Amino acid sequence: MSDDSFTEVTNQSYFQRIGGAFKGIVIGIILILVSCFLLFWNEGRAVKRYKTLVEGSKTVISVASDIVDAGHEQQLVHLTGMATSDETLTDQELGVSAASVIKLKRTSTLFQWQEKSSTRTEKQLGGGEQQTTTYTYSKVWAEQLIDSSSFKKTEGHQNPANMPFQSRQLTSLQVSVGSFFLSPSLISNITNYESLTVDGSLALPSAWEGRSRVMNDGFYLGADPANPQVGDIRISYQVVKPLEVSVIARQAGNHLQSYQAKAGDTIELLELGVHDAQTMFEQEQQSNTILTWLLRAGGFFLMFIGISLIVKPLSVLADVIPVLGSLVAAGTGVITFLLAGILSSLIIAVAWFVFRPLIAILALSMAGVLIFLVVNKMKKGKSIQGASGSL
């Protein structure tokens, strides 16, 4: 454990814990409602996205990027080529610029104190609880200013009141692929950053006189980079240079924009490198599947936490005898997990009947057949046992 730490011991009475547990019921109900909405909405979103991508894969047309064919106006097109820009992006505050790049990003980090805490809880005879919280302090480089006034131990851990330079990103307004210009949302998907070497002869702000230097990829504001002090600043730069991309979007004149599908969702895809249209749609379908399962897991987690908060008073009431309380908590934990799984599955099943009725009916039919086979097998097994017993 770090030597720079602070430990605090607090006690909570049995009745305080009971009061807190019952207050948690309200939060639990809210989390369950949020979970139900999320699970139901997610199934509708997944189906709409799936149908949209299937529709797009059947209607997309691959075109050359160097010619704008008016015959494809307002259609969903696929093309590949070099994404380029003629603009020069300049960080006006520090004078750093880069020509013919798609993006220029400034990353500013401040050397400052960071507080972390860990809590150990011990149950007391009679239902009370003792919490031992250890706060540790360390110095880190961070992009966001850490408010040290909220630290448990502020003495000797003061951070600067403000951050002179924030991280920021500049993006070219016009990025083209051949004869087509990309929409801002397509440009936002281009994130292939690489370091930018800063000109060593660049004039630094006069306020930095004597306590700053130019590094390979930016600036250092402080006495010694090898021995940073709280308040020192590091600034580095990265750029996105012209690169090969593959795009699927709606052709609107010589612009590529979002395509509104009949299924209800929009299509506007960009991948780095050269990819055919079918591969891009397959990758997007995989992303949709992954997102669907992540949101299902998130919905289940919210459901589990919500039910846990509702049944929490049971274990707290039993904590008059700590061992009994632990047993009740373990039992309710298992039940809560099962209930969360059942309720989440029911919500998803209801959503399937709304958004995927055919698949839901097929799934229920298959489940019914399996149940019939299992029951029939069990009956046959009992018949055989009865026959052998009579012999």
> What pLDDT digit, counting tens, does each position of 94-125 carry?
889 999 999 999 999 999 999 999 999 888 77
Residue 147: phi and psi, rounded to 5, are -80, 105
> What pLDDT digit, counting tens, does each position of 214-241 carry?
777 788 888 888 899 999 999 999 999 9
HSE toward the beta carbon, residue 10, CA cutoff 13 A: 9
> What pLDDT digit, counting tens, does each position of 4-53 carry?
888 888 888 877 878 888 888 999 999 999 999 999 999 999 999 999 99
Mean pLDDT on 331-340: 85
Burial of residue 312, with CB atoms counted within 10 A of its CB: 0-12 exposed, 13-18 middle, 19 or more buried: buried
Are the C-beta atoms of residues 32 and 302 closer than 8 Å to each other? yes
Residue 391 has pLDDT above 80, yes or no: no
pTM for the structure as a whole: 0.82
CA 208 to chain CA centroid, Å, is 38
| Position 170, amino acid | L
* Strand pairing category for 259-260 and 212-215: unpaired
Q: Which of 257, 286, 346, 272 is nearest to 49 (CA)?
A: 286
Distance (Å) of CA 147 to CA 142, 339, 358? 12, 41, 54
HSE toward the beta carbon, residue 162, CA cutoff 13 A: 2
**According to the model, what pLDDT value does residue 339 have?**
87
> What pLDDT digit, counting tens, does each position of 48-60 carry?
999 999 999 999 9
**According to the model, what pLDDT value does residue 1 have?**
44
**According to the model, what pLDDT value does residue 385 have?**
47
**According to the model, what pLDDT value does residue 380 have?**
62
Q: What is the mean pLDDT of the chain?
A: 88
* Residue 120, both tokens: 């150990």
Alpha helices in the chain (DSSP H): 14-59, 184-188, 277-318, 322-355, 357-390
> What pLDDT digit, counting tens, does each position of 123-180 carry?
877 777 888 999 999 999 999 999 999 999 999 999 999 988 899 999 999 999 999 9
Mean pLDDT on 69-82: 97
**According to the model, what pLDDT value does residue 362 have?**
67
Output 86 or 339, whichever has higher pLDDT: 86
Q: Which residues contact 268 (CB under 8 A, 6 or more apart)?
A: 183, 185, 186, 248, 249, 250, 257, 258, 259
**According to the model, what pLDDT value does residue 209 have?**
66
Distance (Å) of CA 291 to CA 43, 63, 72, 177, 295? 11, 30, 32, 29, 6
**CA-to-CA distance for 259 and 251, rounded, in angstroms?**
8
**CA-to-CA distance for 109 and 234, rounded, in angstroms?**
5
Q: Which residues contact 76 (CB under 8 A, 6 or more apart)?
A: 56, 59, 60, 61, 248, 249, 250, 251, 259, 267
Residue 367 has pLDDT above 60, yes or no: no
Rg of the chain taking only CA atoms, in angstroms: 30
* Residue 353, both tokens: 């009947």
Q: Which of 54, 25, 61 is nearest to 247 (CA)?
A: 61
**CA-to-CA distance for 18 and 9, rounded, in angstroms?**
20
Grouping H, G, I as helix, E, B as strand and the rest as coil, residue 39 is helix
Are the C-beta atoms of residues 236 and 217 closer than 8 Å to each other? yes
Per-state percent for the chain, helix, strand, coil, to nearest 5 = 45, 30, 30
> What pLDDT digit, counting tens, does each position of 262-278 carry?
999 999 999 999 999 99
Task: Average the pLDDT over each of 9-13, 189-193, 254-258 and give the range with the smallest value.
Answer: 9-13
Output 14 or 352, whichever has higher pLDDT: 352
